[in-house]
Amino acid sequence: MSAHVFGGTVPVSRHLLEVSSNTFELIGLQHDQTTDPFTYLQPRTMLAWGVVLLAPLVFASTRNVSTCPGYTLHSLVETPSGLSAQLSLAGEACNAFGEDISALTVEVAYETTSRLRVNIFDTAKQQYTIPEAVIARPPVSGSPLASKSDLVFNYEPSPFAFWITRRSQPRAPPLFDTRISSLPAVPTGPVIPSDNSTLLTGFPLVFEKQYLQLTSALPLDTNIYGLGEAVASSGFRRNIGVNGGSMQTMWSRDAADPVDGNMYGTHPIYLEHRFDEATNESFSHGVHLMSAAGGDILLLTPQQSNVSLVQYRMIGGVLDFYFFAGPDPKSVVEQYGALVGLPTWQPAWGFGFHLCRWGYHDLNETRQQVLRMKEANIPLEVMWNDIDLYHAVRDFTTDPVTYPAEEVRAFIRELAANDQHYIPIVDAAIAKQVNATDIYDPYTKGAEQNVFMKNPDGSEYVGQVWPGYTVFPDWFAPNATQWWTEALRNWTESGVEVSGIWLDMNEPSSFCVGSCGTNANLTNTSPPFILPGEPGNPITDYPECYDSSSFGPSGNMTVNGTSTCRAETTTIKKRSEQALRKRGLGAGQETGVDLNAPPYAIHNGDGNLSFHTVATNATHFGKLVELDVHSLFGLMEEKATHLALLKIFPGKRPFLISRSTAASSGKWTGHWLGDNFSLWSYLRHSISGVLQFQLFQIPFVGADTCGFNGNTDEELCNRWMQMAAFTPFYRNHNIKGAISQEPYRWDSVANASRTAIAIRYSLLPYWYTLFANSSMHGTPPMRALFFEFPDEPELYNVSTQFMIGRDILVTPVLTPNVTTVDGIFPGRGRVIWRDWYTHDVVNAATNGTTTLPAPLGHINVHVRDGSAILLHAEPAYTIEKTRQGPFSLLVSQSADGRAFGSAYIDDGVSYPPGPSRTLKFIVTKGRLHIQGEGSFHVHQQLTDITVLAVAAKPSVVSLDGKEIEGWQYMASQKKLVVQKLQADLNGPVTLEWK
């Protein structure tokens, strides 16, 4: 078959039976392990919420894609930016999972020189596509860019297939290749032995109303990163070859950080990094599917195959792909940000230490944490409250007994007077009014304004969450944001004078299946399970690896000076793994679809798609259905909340932390990694989680420090408080009923926390600059090692270390009962790494590895040569006090006496950002020159400068041409320290040494 170029010359058996305690019975479906993997039991009933949902399906389903004919391309028309063509079924419809769509359109657009769009959609435009109102896309100029792009679109007309190549690498394997001739031979056995659905029978393009399939060949066991949100057992690099590979399910789900399962957010983007051994060069590219549909994305390597593959199996929507040329990892991330939107600007105070727990019974207990932290001299920037704050667990309320509104107001103002801040929780569901005497404005006004989701018959959809029976905002309703803004404004005026908002339970989560509150007793507000810490559900597990048989019931880290951790003899508990095993309107307007149990059952960890969330047949404004837009709920709530805060606090940067996220969420919010566990494995997982969200353009992210679920211990909390101080969002958060884990509880944790926070606050100008670059350019602030050293394959699978920007390397301790840690130092000897604390040079082995001392309370931090880092000279108790103090500068010269750095400075709170000043630090042999631009006035002075790798003691040190005194030279470290300067950073500054 001839090829064409445009723009270039060159057994998991998931039983899905769910029975409601109220009004309905869902379909029983399962994979048949003995025959074809896509053979299903037939539906037994089709009743839900007491409403007949759908007519019987018209088209017989084979569940076998091997007979699908694919499509033939015709009627091609070239456009200024690419091409448009029609696709028609190349043979008899297979109707594998419903009705084949016979007429498709493919549009190819070279949108920039580094971004290529390939959009395959139904010509009738009935399938759901994400509208610009939800995720705005950048305007496309229409200028001919095909000849300038490094990406080249190639295609075969029949059966239609396409592949993407690099113009700069004409002989390299394609970046994306859907040709059947490029893919493994079929049929295969189950590629993942435990999952019969990974039996591969064919790779045609399949485009049905409720099943879309597209497969691309990949280099054997290539390096894939992204596809989330996930706690991947393989780490930051996704498993594409071990035991056949892995899959990522796209369906937002309230699940406590399951390993290798779908969870809170959906991000169908991956970064692939390839290394050419012949040239010792690497190239990165990115692939993003712009879709809100549920689906499975498979990364597989069949046995005996010389290629791997990525396969998309989506249950709706369209195949709207964006390809990013890179060619390095940071560029891929930036190019993705240019598409979906760059991260929101963070207020400077957001980088401080945050404290929260579920279980602060009253305001006095909350206030006590602030006082105890101050007594222990552990900096506390932001105090949070969980749902304990609420009256009857209802959003936008305060409990009149335990959290009286005026006392809450007074407490928040006490915090503000000390330059501290307050953030409360806001859950996604709104309590339904119990009776006519029940006064709850957020519900009654929302009902009046028709802003809640509906059942198919038009009645209110009523689920169940913390306050009992609840309704759910419909963010597609035109007045939803206005209603939400009013509720938030009324709350702040009542006394909860927030500095930011914490959005939780927004997958959205519901504790029952279906509209269980319809015709129910609304006065029953008890959750359908026992809360943690309550009688019948105590949290009594010992800290991980604690040997109670040897050391009794204390749970202490040491007894009589002996470590109680017996990791070498005690089996580490697997608690988490055991417990957590305007185009078309979409399916709501299509016939022949099943809203409740789509014919292809994605690998949703909860089985049925309506379990623990709003049912898939719930309806939205504009006749949309939840099945199509489910994973957009968190994003749309974040946008509404961000815009609301801008109206309530005009001119100030909104501070948001949200649980469920999707593409473009970073424009509106930060994220925490969800309900993790007080286990060493989750300390490790948190590194990969933070790195993953850098790729997703949601860089302000962190884990619940010391763990959320279960009981932590002193050693784990010690190490975690240190490590989390080097991640963007830094919060300690704990579940109700578990032991207290505020950092002042243990002396060793308090000491470790003070040290780590002091470093963090010293580095604030560096962090702040990284995030300014992120908001302006999309550059990821926190980086995997290979992001900075892309041509070193030994770094591609490193998930135990990370870098902050280009200059700081962090090597945390991630295992118990050790006093050393192994680390790898990138650069293969061409980079000099110096210890943060001592400034000593690291002497690593030839392969870059070394063992570092790591006693309890010490975290290894190293500085890259060639760097110049602006610091706060006097880290204080709060961010504001720290920012008011003087600056210092650390220069770590390279072997040739050079270094470079920059710093972005503004007022730290204005939105949109106001005046700023950008400083550049340029070091050449014996000379440091500081130059700046921008109108912002920097009132802090630069008081001291440390220069490393000064070969010999200078005879003269001068500032702006004038010889100065007050400097020291440490010959053993080749270090020059200049102190007691009063340098004005609003003009040029030059330091010379001879």
The span from the CA of 337 to the CA of 666, in Å, is 9
List CB contacts of 493: < 8 A, sequence separation 6 or more.
Answer: none
Closest of 347, 360, 239 to residue 741, by C-alpha = 360
Q: What is the DSSP letter of 740?
A: P
Is there a contact between 801 and 809 (Cβ–Cβ < 8 Å)? yes
| 675 is annotated as an active-site residue | yes
Is there a contact between 254 and 507 (Cβ–Cβ < 8 Å)? yes
The span from the CA of 186 to the CA of 913, in Å, is 56
Q: 14 to each of 28, 231, 605, 896, how far by Cα in Å?
A: 10, 20, 9, 61
At residue 626's C-alpha, the angle toward residues 621 and 627, to 5°, is: 140
Q: Is the dihedral of CA 552, 558, 560, 563 positive or negative?
A: positive
List CB contacts of 9: < 8 A, sequence separation 6 or more.
Answer: none
Pairing of strands 421-427, 382-385: parallel
Catalytically annotated residue among 229, 504, 906, 944: 504
Is there a contact between 246 and 240 (Cβ–Cβ < 8 Å)? yes
Is there a contact between 230 and 268 (Cβ–Cβ < 8 Å)? no
Is there a contact between 694 and 781 (Cβ–Cβ < 8 Å)? yes
Question: Six-digit token pair at 993?
Answer: 């040494």
Closest of 358, 465, 380, 962 to residue 707, by C-alpha = 358
| 714 is annotated as an active-site residue | no
Secondary structure in 3-state letters for 511-561: CCCCCCCCCCCCCCCCCCCCCCCCCCCCCCCCCCCECHHHHCCCCCCEECC
In terms of phi and psi (left: phi > 0; alpha: psi -120 to 50; beta: otherwise), the region of 679 is beta
Closest of 759, 791, 751 to residue 872, by C-alpha = 759
Catalytically annotated residue among 100, 675, 714, 792: 675
Is there a contact between 308 and 265 (Cβ–Cβ < 8 Å)? no
Catalytically annotated residue among 507, 714, 865, 880: 507
Is there a contact between 415 and 423 (Cβ–Cβ < 8 Å)? no
Question: Six-digit token pair at 24?
Answer: 């309905």
| 36 is annotated as an active-site residue | no
In terms of phi and psi (left: phi > 0; alpha: psi -120 to 50; beta: otherwise), the region of 478 is alpha
Q: Which residues of 170-199 are buried (b: 16+ CB within 10 A; e: fewer)?
A: eeebbbbbbbbebbbeeebebbbeebbbbb
Residues with catalytic function: 504, 507, 675
